[in-house]
Amino acid sequence: MDGCIFCKIISGEIKTDFIFEDKKFVVFKDINPQAKVHLLLVPKEHIGSINDIGAKDEKFLAGVFAVIKQVAEKLGFDKTGYRTVINTGKDAGQEVLHIHFHILSGRKFSWPPG
């Protein structure tokens, strides 16, 4: 989608190292990390947010969790713990309107989130 920063990362227009890539997803480091490990899992298809997910997306969602698990195991933080965050819309502070899944690890996280 025109003007979408994550579409530009996926197409290679913005050079970014991928920690993981398959046919449907990429994972890369957040440019403004909020923890020792702060990754973004982004689908290659431009989907705006959870609001745009439908009943037909069961496989997509299963794929998201499979990739998160795989990356956590590969980097070893499956054992220490990690937090996954999805910001949706203005009040949640969603800045990039291309759905993405924050994966944070390497420190203790508080609850409730701010």
The residues of the shown chain that bind ligand AMP, judged by CB under 6 A, are 5, 14, 16, 30-32, 40, 87, 93-96
Minimum CB distance to ligand AMP, residue 17 (Å): 10
> Starting from the edge strand earliest in sequence, which strands make up the sheet with 37-43, in order?
20-21, 25-29, 37-43, 101-105, 83-85
Strand partners, 70: none
* Residue 29: CB minimum distance to ligand AMP, A: 7
Known catalytic residue at 46: no
Residue 107 Cβ vs ligand AMP, minimum distance, rounded to whole Å: 16
Residues with Cβ within 8 Å of 50's Cβ and at least 6 positions away in sequence, in order, are 86, 88, 99
Take residue 102 and report the two structure tokens written for it: 């924050």
Question: Which positions ≥6 away from 88 have C-beta within 8 Å?
Answer: 49, 50, 51, 94
Q: Which of 38, 46, 98, 100 is catalytic?
A: 100
Residue with smaller CB distance to ligand AMP, 55 or 114: 114
> Residue 72 or residue 99: which is nearer to ligand AMP going by CB?
99
**Within 13 Å, how many C-alpha atoms sit on residue 30's CB side?**
19
- Residue closer to ligand AMP (CB basis): 70 or 88: 88
**Which residues form the catalytic set?**
100
